[in-house]
C-alpha cells in the first residue's frame, strides 16, 4: 500500500498559510487532499476560509497540535486511516496547517514514533512561510519563528509585493537554513511542483547549499539562535572516525539539532555515503559510486539552535583539511 | 553512527524508534512481565500516549510547548 504523502505548512502568525492552502486546494492538480488544521481559539474559522475542495478538513481545537496533552494529532491521523480503511474517505495527500506559534519538532516526530502512522504516512516536507513585511521583527522576538525556518525544506517568502526589497532578510534566512531553497510567493500563487514530492525525509543525494548573497553595505549580523553550519572536507574520511565524530556530536547536541544532512567521501570506498537526520533520528546508507565528473569531497550541513560552532568546526578540523562557513 | 549501513530504510520513519525517545513497546511489555507480573500492562495506544505526553507536555521544558 502506497503511503499517504504529508506536507506540513508552518510559519508565524499572519504569514499566509491559509491563503496558500486555499490556493493549493483550488488548483486543478488532480490530487485528493485531506487537511488537518489547527485553530488556536475556541471558534475555528479557517475551515470556512479554505472552502470545500478538500476530501476532509479536520480541525483540531484543543490547543496547538505541537503540545496538546490529548495527543490530538496522532488520534486525528489514525481516525483518517480508519475512514480510508472503511471506505468512507479517499485521499492521496494530507496537508497539516500548523498554528503560527507551533513548534514543528514534535509534529514531525509524530510521523516517526508511532508504528502505524510511520507505515501509512510518508512525511514529504516542511514548508515554512515567512512574511516579508514582519519577519525581521518576528525573528528578533520569537525563537519559535526561527525554529520554523530551521526545520524547513522549502521557505516561501510572502507579501513581497508589499515589501520588494528584502535582500537583508534573504541573507538572514540563508544563514539560518542553508538547505532550503527560498521562493517568492504572492497571494499563495506558486507552482505546486515546488511544494510536493520533495522527499525531505527520504535519504537522497540532493543537498543544495544556499550561500547568502553578498550585500552592498555592511550590516550588523542579527542575533539568530537558529543557524546553519556548512562543513566541506576534501580528503576522503576514515569511516570509523567520522562515525565517532557524528555520534559524539549527536550525544552532546541532539537537543540543539533540528536538521542535518551529509554526502560523505569515505576512504577506500568508491560509493558516496549519505546520511540525514532530524533531532535524534537519523538514517545513513551507501549511494552510487563517485563519478569522474564529481568533485569528490564531503559536504555536511547542520541546522540547529545555539550550535556550538567552535566544537563542530574543531571536530572536523581534527580530521584533516576542512573549511566551514 | 554508521555501524548498520545497508540495513537502514530509505525513509527516516523506518529507522530505529528509540532515537526519538519513544521506547519500544515490546521492551516495555517484556519489562512488565519480568519485573511487575500481575500488574496491568498498557495497550500500545495507551503506551504511545503516555510516552508522548511524558516527552512533550506538562512542564514546558526544552522549548517544546508553544502555548
> What is the rounded end-to-end Cα distance, in angstroms, of chain B?
35
The rounded distance, in Å, linking the Cα atoms of A85 and A204 is: 31
* CB-based contact A122 B5, cutoff 8 Å: no
- The alpha helices in chain A, defined as continuous H runs, are 17-26, 46-50, 72-85, 104-113, 115-120, 135-141, 143-150, 167-176, 239-253, 309-317
Asked whether residue B30 is assigned to any structural domain, the reply reads yes
CATH 3.40.50.300 in chain A is located at 4-194
Query: For residue A204, what is the nearest residue in chain B, using CA coordinates?
Result: B10
By CB atoms closer than 10 A (0-12, 13-18, 19+), residue A211 is exposed
Q: What is the CATH number of domain A4-194?
A: 3.40.50.300
Q: What is the pTM of this model?
A: 0.83
pLDDT confidence of B22, banded at 50, 70, 90? low
Contact predicate A236/A265, CB 8 Å: yes
Mean of all residue pLDDT scores within chain A: 86
Q: Is B55 within the bounds of a domain? A: yes
Determine contact: B42 vs chain A, CB below 8 A. no
pLDDT > 70? residue A220: no
Within 8 A by CB and 6+ apart from A291, the residues are none
B11 contacts in A (CB within 8 Å)?
Answer: 122, 201-203, 283
**A112 touching B, CB under 8 A?**
yes
Q: What is the pLDDT, as a whole number, of residue A115?
A: 79
**pLDDT 10s digits, A223-281:** 789 999 999 998 999 998 998 898 888 878 877 889 999 999 999 999 999 998 888 78
Residue B9 within a domain = no
B56 vs A106, A144, A203: nearest CB = A106
Q: Under an 8 A CB cutoff, do B67 and A63 touch?
A: yes
Q: CA Rg, chain B, in Å? A: 15
Smallest CA–CA distance, residue A239 to chain B, in Å, is 8
B61 at the A interface (CB within 8 A)? no
* Per-residue confidence (pLDDT) for residue A34, from 0 to 100: 92
Specify the pLDDT at position B63: 39
Q: What is the pLDDT of residue A227?
A: 92
Confidence of residue B18 (pLDDT cuts 50, 70, 90): very low
Q: Where in chain A is the domain with CATH 3.30.1220.10?
A: 226-318
Does the CB of B48 have a partner CB in chain A at under 8 Å?
yes
Q: Biggest alpha carbon distance in chain B?
A: 41
For chain B, how many structural domains are there in total? 1
Q: Which domain holds residue B52?
A: 23-67
CB contact residues (below 8 A), chain A span 140-159, against chain B: 143-144, 147
Tell me whether strands A56-60 and A33-38 are parallel, antiparallel or unpaired.
parallel
Tens-digit pLDDT profile for residues A74-95: 888 999 999 999 999 889 899 9
Q: Is residue B2 part of a domain?
A: no
Write down the CATH number for the domain with range A226-318.
3.30.1220.10
Which residues from A are below 8 Å from B64, CB to CB?
66-67, 103, 105-106
pLDDT for residue A148: 95
Amino acid at each position: 500500500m502506497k503511503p499517504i504523502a504529508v506536507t506540513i505548512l508552518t510559519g508565524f502568525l499572519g504569514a499566509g498559510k491559509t491563503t496558500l492552502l486555499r490556493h493549493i486546494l483550488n488548483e486543478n492538480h488532480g490530487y485528493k487532499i485531506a487537511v488537518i488544521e489547527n485553530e488556536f481559539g475556541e471558534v475555528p474559522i479557517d475551515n470556512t476560509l479554505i472552502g470545500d475542495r478538500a476530501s476532509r478538513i479536520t480541525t483540531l481545537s484543543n490547543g496547538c497540535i505541537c503540545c496538546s496533552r490529548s495527543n490530538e494529532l496522532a488520534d486525528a491521523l489514525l481516525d483518517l486511516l480508519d475512514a480510508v480503511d472503511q471506505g468512507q474517505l479517499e485521499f492521496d495527500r494530507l496537508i497539516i496547517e500548523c498554528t503560527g506559534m507551533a513548534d514543528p519538532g514534535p509534529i514531525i516526530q509524530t510521523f516517526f514514533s508511532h508504528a502505524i502512522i510511520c507505515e501509512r504516512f510518508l512525511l514529504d516536507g516542511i514548508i515554512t512561510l515567512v512574511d516579508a513585511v514582519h519577519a525581521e521583527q518576528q525573528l528578533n522576538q520569537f525563537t519559535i519563528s526561527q525554529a520554523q525556518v530551521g526545520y524547513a525544506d522549502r521557505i516561501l517568502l510572502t507579501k513581497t509585493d508589499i515589501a520588494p526589497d528584502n535582500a537583508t532578510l534573504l541573507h538572514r534566512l540563508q544563514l539560518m537554513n542553508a538547505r532550503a531553497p527560498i521562493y517568492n510567493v504572492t497571494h499563495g500563487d506558486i507552482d505546486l511542483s515546488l511544494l510536493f514530492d520533495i522527499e525531505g525525509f527520504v535519504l537522497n543525494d540532493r543537498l543544495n547549499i544556499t550561500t547568502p548573497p553578498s550585500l552592498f553595505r555592511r550590516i550588523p549580523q542579527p542575533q539568530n539562535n537558529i543557524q546553519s553550519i556548512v562543513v566541506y572536507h576534501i580528503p576522503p574520511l576514515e569511516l570509523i572516525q567520522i562515525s565517532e565524530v557524528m555520534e559524539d556530536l549527536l550525544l552532546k547536541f541532539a537537543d540543539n539539532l533540528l536538521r542535518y544532512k551529509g554526502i560523505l567521501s569515505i576512504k577506500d570506498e568508491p560509493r558516496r555515503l549519505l546520511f540525514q537526520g532530524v533531532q535524534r533520528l537519523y538514517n545513513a546508507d551507501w549511494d552510487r559510486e563517485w563519478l569522474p565528473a564529481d568533485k569528490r569531497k564531503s559536504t555536511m550541513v547542520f541546522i540547529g539552535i545555539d550550535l556550538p560552532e567552535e566544537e563542530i568546526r574543531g571536530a572536523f578540523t581534527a580530521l584533516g583539511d576542512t573549511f566551514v562557513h | 553512527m554508521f555501524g548498520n549501513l545497508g540495513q537502514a530504510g530509505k525513509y527516516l520513519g523506518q529507522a530505529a524508534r528509540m532515537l526519538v525517545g519513544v521506547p519500544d513497546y515490546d521492551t516495555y511489555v517484556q519489562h512488565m512481565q519480568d519485573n511487575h507480573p500481575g500488574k496491568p500492562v498498557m495497550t500500545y495506544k495507551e503506551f504511545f500516549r503516555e510516552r508522548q505526553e511524558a516527552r512533550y507536555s506538562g512542564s514546558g521544558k526544552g522549548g517544546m510547548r508553544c502555548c
